Each structure stands twice: as structure tokens, then as C-alpha cells.
Homo-oligomer: A and B are copies of this chain.
Amino acid sequence: MSSRPAYDALCAHHARVYRLEHVQAIASWDRMTFMPPGGAEARGDAQAELSAIILRLQNDPAVPALLERARQEALGEWETANLAAMERQLRAARAIPEALAERRERLCVQSTQAWAAARSANDWATFSAALAPLLDVVREEADRLGQAFSLSRYDALLDRHEPGLRDARVAELFGDVAEWLPALIDKAVAAQADWPDAPALGPFPADRQKRVCERVMTLLGFDFGAGRLDVSLHPFTGGVPEDVRLTTRYTEADIVPALLATAHETGHARYQQNLPRAWLGQPIAGPASAGLHEAQALTFERQLARERPFLNALSRLLEEEFGPGLDVELLYRLTHRVRRDKNRVAADELTYPAHVILRTEIERALIGGEIGVDDIPALWDARMQALLGVDTKGDFSGGPLQDIHWSQGLFGYFPAYLIGAMTAAQLFATFKAQTPSFGAQAESGDFSALGNWLRDNVWSQGARYDLEEIVQRICGERLAPRTLRAHLTSRYVPAEAAHGGH
């Protein structure tokens, strides 16, 4: 007889949810990779049915009483953290009435359709009309979540993706970056003024690009016994921790985008593959937050993969596949070119934060009710000009229509991209400081120490700590934009860097 029957019953309940979410994850992956168009309608119905069943199971009326009783049981440290995560999940689920969730779902579908059409036609009015009612629903959702967790509206949305992170802290961190970023971009662009125009690295057929990408994944420690690489329109990491499915896409003319996307998704994938195995199925075994997930991707893609030793290893792989004569300097320039551009997804590492800051400012004001949907374009134009010196006037498709997020009701997520970049810079700097042998290993093409260090320090901790707690425990301080600044400066304006670069 267990001494903690209520806790054990809750664990069994969450394991059931986890198993159903497994099947759902594989169906979603298939939808993005292999499903023929004729299957779309039936698949949508099928996955909606399973979603409804999962939701009903999550809201099992027996759960609150079990939580109440489990709180009286003697639990260890992980168990206590797991119970807290369970309570948090239930409170979030119960805060949203079923009718509101259904209205949101319906408006999301309409808004996403309107977004796709509006983007093709550079037509703000169409999207605006569809987004306005969805925004109202999201505000109501935020109000209810806020009540449940004693948070302000935008904080409640932030907390969903980044537990513990508050808007005041985001404003402080992002305000810091916004102060020094524009000048740093100016200097980087000037420093690259004499770079020759780099030709693309190609053309290479997709099947051979895939072979190189799979070797890059192996170099980065991906376990092919428990995951795969496939193709989708937008790269993503899906599947389940026991069977991680990541994707990239191939442009024959240029292999670099596929390689970088693969390195990025491999970071996400290794996090998934190395979540605490003994706890899989429980909330505590999940990733800690969206920002920490992004940080794993960026530690691999931006920190490690753009450094000289990795580019050298990559050029050796490319030469083995496509023959000798590859110019490593070309690879360097292709992965380091800074460009003032409207587009977030294609943005380089240095200008990327500007795109995130702009979106965060706008969605904060939207959720707070200080602006309405029709105020977005003017604000967008002004802030793009100020932060990045780019003119977006009249180009809605290249402006506020470029991202799918808001059309899907996804507010409070954008900050994770920059939180993740800051975290990645701090994790990588700490890793290197703690691992003096890494330099020589990397020169010889062995990068495994990074993955081992992240596994021991981050991945194996699951959701035990929030992002700033884990950064504090590992790096000895909380989020600190100056580490990101030092990294960007030493990489893009080395003459300016106080130290000798890393």
C-alpha cells in the first residue's frame, strides 16, 4: 500500500494524458510532413476529437480533491515540485470556461485564414477585422488567467510561456538592449562594408543536403535511435521525448539555411531527448519554458555553430560530400552577414532582437488596451525606423502581417525569442568558463562536451526551476543583457570588444 495514494493517482492521471498527447503529437508531425492534401479535412476532425478527449480528461472532476489530499502526503523534493506543476496546470485549465475556449478556437481559425489571405494581398483591413474580435477574447482569457494567478493581463499571458517572468522584468531587460542595439548594428554594418558579396553555397540536390544535415545532427549529439529528420514548409521540432521528430527544408541553390535550421532544431531536439527520463509523463519532466527551449536551440545554432571550430568541422563535412575547394571564409561570411531587413525569420543574430522588442512593445499595448488593432501599422513603422532604420510604410505583408502568431491568438510568446538569446549567451559563456578543455576538443571536431554540460545542468532538470532560477543556479546571476552585448560585440565589432573575443 502506497503511503501517498492521492499523489500516485495524480501521477497515473497525468501519464494517461501524456500517452494521448503522444498520439496527437505524431499525428501533428505527420500533418506537417507527409499528409497528402486530401487528408486535411478528416485529419482536422480527428485531431479535434482527440483534443476534446484530452481536455475532458485534464478537467477530470476527481482531480481537485486528489490534489487537496496529496498536499497532506509526505513527498520528496521532485514530487513536491511535480505536485506544484500539476496544480498550476489545473488552475490554468479551470480558469478558462469551455465556451470561451470554443469561441477562441473558432475565431482563431477565421483569423488565421484572414491572415493568410491578407498577407498575399498586402491588405491590412481584412486582417484587422478578423483580429479585433480574437483580441477581445484573448483579453478576456488574460483577465481570467490573471484572476486565477493574481497577475495583470499581459503578465498572465507571459506566465503561460515563461513561468515567473513578469512584464516589468521584460521591460527592464528589453529596454537595456534597445539602448545599445541600434549603435551596435551601425558599427557592425560599417565593419562589414568591405565584405565582398558572398555567392550562395550551392546548388546541391536535396538528398545530399539531407546527408550533410544528418551528419551535423550526429556531430551535435542527436540520437537517431530515438528520432528522425524530415522535411516541412517551416522547420520545427515535434514528436515526443522518446521519439523526437525534427524537420528542415532544402533550397537547392543554397545549403546554408538548411544547415542552420538543422542546428537550431537539433538544440530543441536534444533538450526533448534528454528531459528527465524517469519522470516522463509528469508535468515536472516537461521543458521549463519557451525561452529556455529557445535558448537550447540558440546555444547550438548561434553560439556554437557560428564559431570558427564548428565552421571548420562543417566545411570538412561539406568537402567530404561535395568535393574539395570550399572557402571557409565564404561560410563565415554567409553565417555572419548583418543586414537591416524587415523580415524577422530571415534576420541575422544581431538585428533579431530589434524584431522581438518591437513585437513585444506592440502586443503589450494591445493586450493592455492602450492601443487597438488599427494602431499597429503606424507603431510598427515608427519602431522599425527607430530600432533598425528600416522603412516599412505601406508594406503590411513585410510588416505586421509577416508573422502568424497573433492570428493564432498567440500573445506573450514573442519575448521568448530574445529571452532565449540572452540565456544562450549566458549559458555558453558559463560553459566555456567551466570547461577549459573545450577549446582544444572543438578544434579537433569534438563538440560533445557542450551537450553533456547542458544535459547535466539544464535538460535533466525538467521544469523544476523557472528560467531565471536555473540561470542563477548555473551562471551565478540572473538574466544579464550585458553578456549578450559582450557576445555580439566581440563577434560583430571585434575592434570594439573590451576583451579579445571568445
Contact = CB atoms under 8 A, between A and B. Distances in A.
Given A22-B45, A26-B26, A36-B243, 19 more contacts: A16-B49, A19-B48, A20-B46, A22-B42, A23-B47, A23-B49, A23-B50, A27-B27, A35-B243, A36-B224, A36-B225, A37-B225, A38-B223, A38-B227, A38-B243, A42-B240, A43-B242, A46-B240, A50-B50
A223 B45 CA distance: 21
A242 B38 contact: yes
Contacts of A55: none
A226 B35 CA distance: 8
A308 B232 CA distance: 42
A228 interface: yes
Given A35-B243, A39-B243, A23 B22 contact: no
A34 B228 contact: yes
A243 B26 contact: no
Contact of A46 (B22, B39, B43, B225): B22
Given A38-B242, A223-B38, A225-B36, A23 B19 contact: no
B42 A243 contact: yes
Contacts of A49: 16, 19-20, 23
Interface in A235-290: 239-240, 242-243, 280
A408 interface: no
Nearest to A47: B23
A227 B42 CA distance: 13
A53 interface: yes
Interface string A216-231: 0000000111111000
Interface in A1-22: 16, 19-20, 22
Number of copies: 2
A45 B41 CA distance: 27
A24 interface: yes
A469 interface: no
A417 to B, nearest CB: 29
5 contacts: A36-B227, A38-B225, A38-B226, A38-B242, A42-B240
A30 interface: yes
Contacts of A53: 20, 53
A48 B19 CA distance: 9
Given A26-B26, A26-B27, A36 B240 contact: no
A127 to B, nearest CB: 29
Given A19-B46, A20-B46, A23-B47, A41 B242 contact: yes
Contacts of A228: 34, 36
Contacts of A239: 39
Nearest to A41: B242
Contacts of A30: 26, 30
Contacts of A24: 23
